[in-house]
Amino acid sequence: MKKAEKRMSWKEVFQMNIRGLKMFYERYPQMVTSRFISVFWNALTPYVGIFLSALVVDELVGNRDVQRLQMLVVITLASAAIIALGTALLNKWKNTQSTGEWLKIEHIVSEKMLDTDYVNLDDTHTAEMLSSIRQSFNGGGWGLARVLECCGELCSSVFTLLGGLALTASLFVIKV
């Protein structure tokens, strides 16, 4: 018979992910920082173009002031160029910091193994846990590597939602 698997609660999963994120941040703060700044940037930059395009359309429908329209178009184009440049730089920084991620994770696991008592190293349960950690990372791409990815996806979703809500709220505030 198979042994019944213990299912983790959402609270336990959340706490474990926070713990993994802290481990990464303590050892590789630029890797974590570069990912979260990149996530923030990529989630919110589309709203800049949407907002500026709305201002251009508003000016076309409204006063049709040529000077203001030219200024808005120049600002829109300049912001698009700055956003593209910023995106490229942030992606380069994030990719540079994430290089050798497998070795960084292996370093964290090795440090944990060095911190434990020899009695624990000789225990079969510890060997099984270490094997499970390595299999999870190598086989399915789970484990510590997935912590950064999942936290990034969660933050991206939150930032996108907040940006969408802010843009939607501005629609109700502006006079028609």
Distance CA(132)–CA(47), nearest Å, equals 43
Please give the pLDDT value at position 147. 85
79-98 average pLDDT score: 95
Is residue 4 pLDDT above 60, yes or no?
no
Please give the pLDDT value at position 7. 82
Is residue 160 pLDDT above 70, yes or no?
yes
| Tens of pLDDT, residues 10-67 | 898 889 889 889 988 999 999 999 999 999 999 989 989 988 998 898 889 888 889 9
Percent of the chain with pLDDT over 90: 35
CB 56 within 8 A of CB 80: no
Distance CA(79)–CA(122), nearest Å, equals 59
Average pLDDT, the chain: 86
Please give the pLDDT value at position 39. 93
Distance CA(12)–CA(128), nearest Å, equals 21
Structure token pair of residue 84: 């593209």
| Tens of pLDDT, residues 93-119 | 999 998 888 888 888 888 888 888 888
Is residue 142 pLDDT above 80, yes or no?
no
* Residue with tokens 């933050």, as numbered in its chain: 155
Percent of the chain with pLDDT over 70: 93
